[in-house]
Amino acid sequence: MKDGHQRIPVITAYDAPSAKIAQLAEIPIILVGDSLGMVVQGHETPIPVTLEQMIYHTSMVVRATTTPLIIGDLPFMTYSISVEQAMTSAARLMQEGGATAVKLEGGQSHAEIIARIVSAGIPVMAHIGLTPQSVNQLGGMKVQGRDLDAARRLLLDAEAVQAAGAFAIVLESMPAELGKMITENLRIPTIGIGAGVNCDGQVQVWHDLMGIFDDFVPRHAKHYADIGTTMRTALRAFADDVRAGSFPTEDHSFTMKADVLSALTLNGTEPHAGD
């Protein structure tokens, strides 16, 4: 797609219904991101997400799809202790979760790990810039690469993960000019999220794109729908109908055959007044 100058749409999904809808919309890549820690589990960061949880959510997405590339996120501290740990975690996400590829955060510091995982036959997507698993080290969810030294480090990070064998790289929350420079320097595709218009592709979080939450909208996100309002309206209508006794109706109820009802009544099974 990069060689053919085709922009690459990527969406996160964390369950079977969402993944099925993404496939019907002809999304070519689904990322089962550890962002589920925030948008599904209610945490402030993705740090509490475990490998077992990633395997669980990835397996749901895989079962619901046949055509998209499914990338599973390696969560916090499941690939940084040693190369062996990283390879074991990646293998589990592939074997038990059914992922087609894995994603991990880090640049030069993780090049050796990427190379070893790739050498085992596991495709790796890299991730640099704002790396949410390092939020405590970075001092929050902040734009990265704004000063000269930081920008140079990110350029070197991108080159390092490409040389290590990564097939693609996520560029998160960095100046658009830097995103453009990295994209032009690399042979592999760049997938941007808050990295400007010149990346080879763009990834968005399902809940942001659908407008499910409105209390906080990241600058890099765009609401393509207002599903949250629609859901709240539907739930209020349901609650009002239940309180008013207008749901369920006969159309939503099941009936018993007359002879069975008659037999129940004759056998004295029907409760008597005052019981």
Q: Which of 203, 233, 196 shows the shortest CA–CA distance to 8?
A: 203
The CA dihedral of 118, 103, 93, 10, to the nearest 10 degrees, is -120
Which DSSP string corresponds to 32-88? E-TTHHHHTS--SSSTT--HHHHHHHHHHHHHT-SSSEEEEEP-TTSSSS-HHHHHH
Handedness of CA 174, 40, 104, 225 (dihedral sign): negative
Burial (CB < 10 A; 0-12, 13-18, 19+), residue 170, is buried
Q: What's the pTM value of the predicted model, to 2 decimals?
A: 0.92
> pLDDT digit of tens for each residue in the chain (275 aa)?
999 999 999 999 999 999 999 999 999 999 999 999 999 999 999 999 999 999 999 999 999 999 999 999 999 999 999 999 999 999 999 999 999 999 999 999 999 999 999 999 999 999 999 999 999 888 888 999 999 999 999 999 999 999 999 999 999 999 999 999 999 999 999 999 999 999 999 999 999 999 998 776 677 889 999 999 999 999 999 999 999 999 999 999 999 999 999 999 877 655 555 54
The CA distance from 43 to 233, in Å, is: 26
Sequence-ordered list of residues with C-beta below 8 angstroms from that of 2, at least 6 positions apart, any chain: 8, 187, 188, 189, 200
The CA distance from 5 to 188, in Å, is: 12
List, in sequence order, the alpha helices (H) in the chain: 16-24, 36-39, 51-63, 83-95, 111-119, 135-138, 148-164, 176-185, 206-210, 227-244, 258-266
All domains of the chain in start order, with CATH? 8-225 (3.20.20.60), 230-266 (no CATH)
Q: If you search the block for the tokens 């949250």, which residue do you land on?
A: 228
- Catalytically active residues are 172
